[in-house]
Amino acid sequence: MGHGDKNHHFAPKKVEFFEKNKIKVSSITAGLYHTNALTTDGDLYSWGRGLYGVLGNGTNQYELQPTLNEDLKQMKIEQPKSKVIKKMESADEYTVVLMQDNSLYVWGKNDRG
């Protein structure tokens, strides 16, 4: 849930990571067991259960706090006009992003998206 632990929370609890790091979130999406946040700077942070690569970080590991997607960050640095996320969606066990140049990137469980 982005709080750094696997504890259950039965009432809303603020995800402190973004405020502590002075990061502003512009949009969010969520799948079954993962969450994505797109920042006003165009960076993508993901957290949750990483099974099937749903976090887009090349592993199957849990991320208990928001973690920057380094691959998308690098694309944005190398091609700042075209590889900026225009739209993001998540569902079930996958995430998809549409870039400014209308290229599409998808990751997660292959039989779900």
pLDDT in tens, 47-82: 999 999 999 999 999 999 999 999 999 999 999 999
State the pTM of this model: 0.92
Q: Enumerate the H helices of the chain as residue ranges.
A: 16-20, 70-78
Could you give the 3-state DSSP secondary structure of residue 73?
Answer: helix
Structural domain includes residue 113: no
Could you give the 3-state DSSP secondary structure of residue 18?
Answer: helix
Instruction: Give me the number of domains the chain comprises.
Output: 1
* Buried b or exposed e, range 36-71, using 16+ CB within 10 angstroms: bbbbeebbbbbbbbbbbbbbbbeeeeebbebbebee
Residue range(s) defining the domain that contains residue 76: 16-108
Residue 96 reports pLDDT greater than 70: yes
Structural domain includes residue 6: no
